[in-house]
Structure 1
């Protein structure tokens, strides 16, 4: 394999190639519903009960016969006798959720009544049959399909599962993502001694692991692998039981960038270099049916690769639906320059309702992301944006 990038692939083409080999996992597990928020159902949920299972008052007030309130108003109230049971011209005090007394078919709200004696109640509004009454199964009927397989469970959905008396739910398992940091220059962040000249604290793995978990995966993190083809090959082979592999570093054209060559021997390369700035050295591959992302070692370039490829791949593996990104449009405070022929990710700081460019280059400056509120994407055929022009900003997660 040549050490040079022979032909860079447009980002949208690289994404299409990569996502074609990503297949949702087919494993499921049964969990207590308290642990299911943010998980995806692996089967339909059908209710075996009615909700509510009894006729109940939907408001605080008085249960009565609706027909006996005909003509009632504030200027012409109708008197009812408060009782424990329903009889002609009687009413029963009820609260929201109270069983509706036998013989009653409506509830007049407490605001539309006034007690004029200890057992006499003025009703000052007419009600219709079934008004302010929840019927059996009004919310959910026995046998009703409550959620389809593939539904992303939210906290409110968990409450619904509890209301139909479910204690567990069958959900798709989270995909397993293996993360392999490579590089002779890397040292573990746990090491007590400060880094010496030529040594770099390994942080890409931490960023990658936290994003992978945020996007719906569980992670296996390898120890730092030296720039040695045999060691890289062994690390990949040891992680083929996972659903996706992410290699951090070793993807460029240096003498020690062995990862693409090793992967080509073990599987197939889909893309070797993309038209993105930062992010150009990104390599995408497949090894024994597993999608493999080789992200650049420079942290900002790695961040871009994660956003472009790891995020949609993990969500697809996990059966998670695509969600729109949080975006906003603001005028530019300063001009942004970009590189023609490359999809450019310009980091943006929002100040006084305007967008100030932080930088478009500097793939190694991780703090440029933390100083930003998001980024704007400049198309390949555009040579930057002028000051004052409106740009769309993808807000940082």
Structure 2
């Protein structure tokens, strides 16, 4: 049997493969319409790297990546390759991928301190653009520790402190950088902004302190005025004390807390959108007051009822020419109205003289102000609902 000459036969099938082109067209050839798009899929010519690399779908790209991360290289070479990879991601504004690459480079633990400082600084920049200011500041600090004269790290650290509103720290970073490079415009501008921020923060802190002191004095004066008038405040209900107005007793048979025990929120209203009693410049108290209409399940709220005003003063306005829409029978007219407050401890009702002032009523020994809001029940005199509502209740008329 004759031995074929060298090159006349081959076991790699190339000859057979080439013969096919005489009769069959290559199916995956580039066309004039898609060659640029297809060219960009070739790993060596890609303009941007894909977000994720699946070795089963992109074996060529995975192979190139494995070459970059080749363990045969020194830690310094691997760290440099990962730094370059991170820089490419950074240019593409893919900051998350950049962080991953820079982190992988740092994990190589190479002995090149300057390279490690650059990796930290670059990762700080990526974190900065992602809004991770605390992580960016930590990386800038680590870079400066490795290379104290690394201006980029110092600038980044100052920028992070500014974003975190740490003006004093930002000034320290800027001063440290300006000692190394006094003419650096970026550091000069950052220092000016940090100094302005620091002065504004100090000014705001002074204003806040003065305001807090003023509010505390006003609060103490308000509580003293309430105590002087003999008005009794109930502790607002809490889940653990639901069903009882207070666990304290003031000695007069009621369940009010002493004013000295009241916390600052003790006289805020829970029922009336946050309105509170206040004292005007003349020393007169103005209370948020709630009116309840059980017959119609309606309420009215007066945010600032002067303690010297009578109930009739307000009722004549509330039920004057224009009656409420829910009063379809037109019964709620001032001459027909009765006003009551409830003794929350005993359940008794006390009918209020409409000509009396709010202060006069609040000073009654059985009147307690709960959650900072005096509340009163309004009924139509001698109406069927009124008779039913008052049936079985002990009612006492105030003179």
TM-score for the superposition, normalised by structure 1: 0.19
Instruction: Name which structure has the greater RCO, CA cutoff 8 Å, separation 6+.
Output: 1
Q: Which has the higher helix share?
A: 2
TM-score for the superposition, normalised by structure 2: 0.19
Q: Which has the higher strand share?
A: 1
